Amino acid sequence: MKPTFAWWILLASFFLPLVCAGIAKAGRRDYDNANPREWEKALGGYRSRAVAAMNNTFEALPFFAAAVIGAHVFGAPQARLDLLAAIWLALRLVYIGLYVSDRAAARSLVWMAGFAVTVWIFVLGV
């Protein structure tokens, strides 16, 4: 089977935590690679929120990955799967932006939308 657009979206989604980490670390010269968790604890403001967004993205990835893989296995309509996967990725990018910029209410709404899209993908092939 050939990789689908949704498959490439899944691959791209695994880079989202790196985007968040990059936001947290950008411009800082004091990053402690020997003790990164302690370094993260000392962050404040948008950098701390970027770390939180990174952690939440790590938490969201397994469900999204299982949904996309399951949809492929169960023969979900490819065009719809591709579209929903792209929507999920776009929502996660918006979510990260809202998290970093401290817009908690909007961030929660976007998180819920992303979760709903993941559920939709999960049941798409059923």
**Distance (Å, whole) CA 5 – CA 3:** 7
**Distance (Å, whole) CA 79 – CA 120:** 14
- Mean pLDDT, consecutive 10-residue stretches, the chain (126 aa), reads 93 98 91 87 95 97 97 96 98 98 98 98 91
pLDDT of residue 2: 87
Task: Specify the pTM.
Answer: 0.94
Contact 71, 121 (CB under 8 A): yes
**Distance (Å, whole) CA 54 – CA 126:** 31
Task: Indicate left, alpha or beta for 81 from its phi (over 0: left) and psi (-120 to 50: alpha).
Answer: alpha
